[in-house]
Amino acid sequence: MLKKLFFAIIGICFLVFTVTGVLIYSKFEDEHPTRNDIKYMVVLGAKVRENGISPTLQRRLDKALNVLLLDTTITVIVSGGKGEDEPVSEAKAMSDYLLTHGVNANRIIQEDQSFSTEENIINSRSKIVLPNNSTIPIYLATSNYHQYRAQYLACNVGFIPYALSSSTPNSDMPYRFIREIFAVINEWWSSLY
């Protein structure tokens, strides 16, 4: 009896991990909406070092720039606070990067109070003045492994997110992907209570 229970639990865990992994992988590619009413973009922060932004953050910003330089009507919200080991907030570093790459300052909104993905999304939504219950389409720029959870959270606050998924080096992917599986499962579990 215990042996059957053990294998049943292992089987359920394997199934949950597999389904979660497939869902995460499904958001690895950019989404190209046919709508032309997207006026906002949210770029989620990542590590800022003494010598500048991390490669992960640069890939996210470069992905965002691909759209921002083509459509000058989009306002971008750069979201990320200042960790204890960071010289400036992630939002400030992202804003500086976008400014030096040709995005006008009047198109950039800094959200510098967030320290988690959930806070990034909630605080970014508060920067857009719309009726409380209205939904708004946005581009959501983050790393490919992170896109599913970010979109899941974005939908919960009234965003209709379209993925701008930056690449992740193959050497980093196993760790990041497995870590993200646990983060997604935790997010689902938290939403139950």
pLDDT at 169 over 80: yes
pLDDT at 60 over 80: yes
What's the mean pLDDT in 85-89?
Answer: 95
- 48-49 vs 52-53, strand pairing mode: antiparallel
The answer to whether 89 and 82 have CB atoms below 8 angstroms apart is: yes
What's the mean pLDDT in 96-117?
Answer: 97
Distance from C-alpha of 165 to C-alpha of 160, rounded to nearest angstrom: 15
pLDDT at position 72: 94
φ/ψ of 58, rounded to 5, equals -65, -40
pLDDT at position 192: 80
pLDDT at position 132: 66
What's the mean pLDDT in 63-68?
Answer: 96
Model confidence band, residue 28 (pLDDT cutoffs 50, 70, 90): confident
Q: 3-state secondary structure string, 55-105?
A: HHHHHHHHHHHHHHCCCCCCEEEEECCCCCCCCCCHHHHHHHHHHHCCCCH
**Minimal CA–CA distance to 77: which of 155, 135, 129, 30?**
129
Burial class (CB in 10 A: 0-12, 13-18, 19+), 103: buried
Count of CA atoms in the C-beta half-sphere (13 A) of 31: 20
Distance from C-alpha of 152 to C-alpha of 114, rounded to nearest angstrom: 17
**Minimal CA–CA distance to 44: which of 182, 151, 185?**
151
77 contacts: CB under 8 Å, gap ≥ 6: 40, 41, 42, 43, 109, 110, 111, 124, 127, 128
- In the chain, what are the domains? 2-191 (3.40.50.620)
The answer to whether 154 and 161 have CB atoms below 8 angstroms apart is: yes
Running DSSP on this structure, what letter comes out for residue 192?
T
Model confidence band, residue 63 (pLDDT cutoffs 50, 70, 90): very high
Q: What pLDDT, in 10s, does the model give residues 114-167? A: 999 999 999 999 999 876 678 899 999 999 999 999 999 999 999 999 999 999
pLDDT at position 150: 96
Residue 184: alpha-carbon gap to chain centroid: 13
